[in-house]
Copies of this chain bind each other. A is one copy, B any other.
Amino acid sequence: MGRWEPDAQGRMARAALELYAERGYEQTTVQDIAARAGVTERTYFRYFADKREVLFDGAHTLERLAVAGVVDAPADAGPLEAAGAGVVRGCDALADRYERARTRAGVVAANPGLQERELLKMAALGTAVAGALRERGVPVPAAALAAEAAVAAFRVGFEAWVASDGGRGLDDHVRAALADLRALAAG
């Protein structure tokens, strides 16, 4: 076997999540992941930039969906409203992966280094959403703030989702967080 088994990237991603969850991030070496996926350590680093990145290959999809959500928002929607529509649309990227998201969230929560990477991805999401807002004519500072606030609501909603039993959808939780945010700023 060895060479030319299909979907090496997917195998490595699954192996990594399993190992990180089983024995912890620090107790897992890249060689462990590569071995379980049936490749060598060198091949791992051809697909993922570092030991952390293997948990974040879905971030690009989330970002793309969120930007599309902002673009498709009604023309009369305000900046925060449009940004909120973006992150709500982004929920589609995780909607049917509750179990995996929950496992992954546990792994990330257990390691500061992984939290750093997640924060970087959220910041990139915010930058992308802010860019989409600027395309709508929103001035720079307002776009940055609206994007940051919407991403904060997404994070809060996501945390509530993985802490729940999964009965309600991620988008429901995010919408609730956005409503809380509005009420907060008004008060």
Contacts and interface: CB of A to CB of B under 8 A. Distances in A.
A133 to B, nearest CB: 11
Interface string A104-137: 0000000010011101101100000000000000
B177 A156 contact: no
Chain A: number of interface residues, binned into ranges: 20 to 34
Contact of A142 (B146, B148, B180): B180
Given A119-B120, A177-B145, A186 B184 contact: no
A141 B155 CA distance: 11
A148 B78 CA distance: 20
How many monomers of this protein are in the complex?
Answer: 2
A181 B145 contact: yes
Given A115-B123, A119-B123, A145 B141 contact: no
Contacts of A37: none
Contact of A185 (B148, B155, B182): B182
Interface in A145-187: 145-146, 148-149, 152-153, 155-156, 160, 177, 180-182, 184-187
Contacts of A156: 141, 144-145, 148
B177 A141 contact: yes
Interface of A: 78-80, 112, 115-117, 119-120, 122-123, 141-142, 144-146, 148-149, 152-153, 155-156, 160, 177, 180-182, 184-187
State the 5 A-B residue pairs at the shortest beta-carbon distance, nearest first: A185-B185, A148-B152, A119-B119, A116-B116, A116-B120
